[in-house]
Structure 1
Amino acid sequence: MKKWFLLIAAMGLVLALAACGDEKKDEPAKENDEAATEPSETEETDEIEAVKVDLIDANEESVGTVELTEEENGVLVNVKAENLPEGPHGFHFHEAGKCEEPDFESAGGHFNPTESEHGLETEKGPHAGDLPNLEVGKDGKVEEEFVAEHVTLKMGEANSLLKEGGTALVIHAGADDGKTQPSGDSGDRIVCGVIQ
């Protein structure tokens, strides 16, 4: 009888210890499951909704800003600048995020991921980077807003302004005629801003 009692007690003790071990094993698993379902604080989205671009002239002086905002039909471009020559000026997104004075040639050519022809009025165009001319007033100021339909701020897209290496915004000395290849005969680059 004592043997049976001891045997039953020993088996009960083994079962109790085994149950405690299983509970401990389950606890970390629960913690891991909770951690997997909770959003990480370091997670980032691939979509940037707005970017502010600082514009500088050939003397490294600030002349204004451009705010770029992602919209359903493209990127909303809001330009506010001053101390510019009066009249119409070619305005484009360029292919490299570099603005080295004094000529800003470091920004490369127009942003053109589809290898189209230049010009808003060209049958085989436009470049994704082609934009309407800016009209600067007698006071040297310009404030304009329009949608650039051929670009995006979404990362990873072929027409994203936020591609590796960035892109740039350039204001030219003269008006873009909307058709002359490769850049609309708009003259020297007088203002530049890096987009990244």
Structure 2
Amino acid sequence: MRHKLASASAVFALTLAIGAQANADTANAELHDTNDKAVGSVTLSEDNGKVTVSIEAQALPAGFHGFHIHAVGDCSASDFTSASGHFNPSGVDHGDHAGDLPNLLVMGDGTAAMTFDTDRFAVADLFDNDGSAIIIHAAPDNYANIPERYHEPPPDDATLATGDAGSRLACGVIEQ
């Protein structure tokens, strides 16, 4: 009997250790709109050098929306500008920011769900001194992908910096 208890204790301890390790590589964000209404959640989980990003959202306008990780974990401003610009630790051009994620397609009923993998960042990277946030924008992101034939006049700074994704509809601070 004592052997079975010791084995059960060892299995329980191993399960706790594995769970603690898994939690260290997982983060979440609860998304709220500009009226502070909950509109969705995002989970980021890391395994073998890739981060799986999953979002479920509701009560959003139908269509494509820019979806990004922003550099500061602060959604306190009424327009969410407190989250600063896109997460871009390498200082590269838009479209290649670590925080540039695929556009989010919201269905006609206002719901959206998407899951994808990325290797542009590790979950731990999102927890620098000021944290990070997830933003859903009002318009789709063109990733500053403007064909040469449209460069008369050249793309403006907003296009090059944000991909014309527009205002910020929802924000969530990334937390562990």
Q: Same fold (TM over 0.5)?
A: yes
SS in 2 for 1:116: coil
TM alignment of 1:2-151, pairs within 5 A:
48-119=24-95, 126-151=96-121
Contact 1:118 1:184 in 2 (8 A): yes
Per-residue CA deviation, residues 134-154 of structure 1 (Å, 9 max, x unaligned), is: 000001000100012211113
Distance in 2 (CA, whole Å) between partners of 1:164 and 1:148 is: 23
User: 2:144 matched to 1:174?
Assistant: no
SS in 2 for 1:106: helix
Contact 1:48 1:70 in 2 (8 A): no
Name which structure has the greater RCO, CA cutoff 8 Å, separation 6+.
2
TM-score by length of 2: 0.77
SS in 2 for 1:76: strand
Query: Partner letter of residue 164 of structure 2?
Result: D
Superposition deviation, residue 178 in structure 1: 1.4
Superposition deviation, residue 102 in structure 1: 2.0
- Superposed CA RMSD in Å reads 1.9
Which runs of 4 or more aligned residues in structure 1 lie more than 3 Å from their structure 2 counterparts after TM superposition?
Answer: none
Distance in 2 (CA, whole Å) between partners of 1:134 and 1:73 is: 23
Contact 1:118 1:178 in 2 (8 A): yes
SS in 1 for 2:160: coil
Per-residue CA deviation, residues 89-108 of structure 1 (Å, 9 max, x unaligned), is: 00000000000242000000
Contact 1:60 1:101 in 2 (8 A): no
Distance in 2 (CA, whole Å) between partners of 1:188 and 1:175 is: 11
SS in 2 for 1:143: strand
User: 2:138 matched to 1:162?
Assistant: no
